Amino acid sequence: MADMKKEKRKGINQWQEVLNILLHNPNAIIGFVIVAVLIILAILAPWISPYNYLEMNLAIAKQGPSAAHIFGTDDLGRDILSRILYGGRYSMSLGFLSVGLGAIVAMVIGSIAGYFGGWVDNLLMRMMDVLSAIPGMLLSIIVAAALGTAYHDTVIAMAIGNVAALSRILRAQILSIREKEYVQAAKASNCSNFRIIFSHIIPNSVMPMIINCTSRLAAALLFCASLSFIGLGVQPPEPEWGAMLAGARGYIRTYPYMLISPGIFIALSVVGFTLLGDSLRDAMDPKLRK
């Protein structure tokens, strides 16, 4: 706290400092570049992909890499590079939306529980206990089964696994911040409740959640791939990376090449988000600063 005030007096705000730390951390830059490139590729997919991702041509099926098809073609003669580019749209957007949705629901639950306390808090947290008693994968499988495999259903199935943990984090933060000196100081200086909540409690309590969400994005991408792999996420012929691997599984003996590129892209995207999440966490944590 004291450090932060000193910095404020010097005219450097916390965000600039965090940004400064991130800019000097090679891991953060590598992570950012990987994520940025993958997102740009996904957004530009319709313009840069060399072929139609659904166009089949059995005459050129199961070809290795060549100048015409950089990543080769799959079992139905579709261009793997084009499918990877389009697949990125599914993987990335599902990751962002599911973590985002989970965070929004968690924010509502966590702040209600934190502010009201008492039986409301108790009831909500017991509900979260129930949710976290079911391993995440199982919960998503069963929700995906109940809702179906449409895009928004997959988002919900993936988001539900994030709700319990994130709402606990926010609630714990709000509980501890409610008692902080600066909140009491604000109260003593006759600050309105509204102002206390929105300018003191919320900004200080969502930070751990944002950091946690960045790491969760990495997990969400893996999760999305697993769900599609077992056939409960994005459905073929749509080219999600996990679903492409599920398709490649049948050809592991005859044409293993199909396995390689979707897996590399999943791993690459997860590496990007992991590095970004790690460096953000380190930058925000004053204890780890040297």
Partner 1 sequence: MIPVILAVAILIFTIMTFVPGNPASLILGADATEEQILIKEHELGLDQPYVIRLGNFLKQTFVDFDFGRSYWTNTSVTEELMARFPRTLAIAGFAMLFTVIIGIPLGIFTAIHEGTFADRIGVLLCVIGVSMPTFWLAMLFVLLFALKLKLLPAQGMDGAKYFVLPVVAQSLGGISGMVRTARAAMLEVVRADYVTTARSKGLSERKVIYEHALPNAMLPIISVLSGQLANQLGGALVIEQVFSIPGIGLYLINAVNTRDYPVAQSSVVFLSILFSLIVLLTDLGYAAVDPIIRAQFVQGGTKKKKRKEENG
String marking each residue 31-60 x if it binds partner 1 according to CB under 8 A = ------------------------------
Q: Do residues 208 and 199 lie in contact, with contact meaning Cβ atoms separated by under 8 Å?
A: no
Nearest-angstrom CA–CA distance, 142 and 224: 14
- Looking only at residues 211 through 240 of this chain, which bind partner 1 when binding is defined by CB under 8 A? 218, 222, 225-226, 229-232
Q: Does 105 bind partner 1 (CB under 8 A)?
A: no
d(CA 9, CA 4): 9
Nearest to 269 by CA among 230, 241, 232, 239: 241
Which residues pair with residue 73 across a beta bridge?
79
Stretch (H or E) spanning 45: helix 26-48
Minimum Å gap between C-beta 127 and partner 1 is 8
Q: Quick one: which segment of 53-61, 87-95, 201-209, 262-270 binds partner 1 (CB under 8 A)? A: 262-270
Q: Is 200 or 216 the residue whose CB approaches partner 1 more closely? A: 216
x-or-dash string of contact with partner 1, 118-157, rule CB under 8 A = -------xx--xx--xxxxxx--xxxxxxxx---------
Segment contacting partner 1 by CB under 8 A, of 1-9, 64-72, 180-188, 252-260: 252-260
Q: Which is nearer to partner 1, 19 or 252 (CB)?
A: 252
| Tokens, residue 157 | 């199935």
**How far apart are alpha carbons 89 and 243 in whole angstroms?**
13
For the chain, the residue count is 290
Identity of the amino acid at 102: G
| Residues forming a β-bridge with 79 | 73
Query: Which amino acid would we find at residue 43?
Result: I
Among the listed residues 38, 97, 275, 284, the single contact to partner 1 using CB under 8 A: 275
Residues that bind partner 1 (CB under 8 A): 125-126, 129-130, 133-138, 141-148, 218, 222, 225-226, 229-232, 242, 245, 248-249, 252-253, 256, 259, 262-263, 266-268, 270-271, 274-275, 278, 287-288
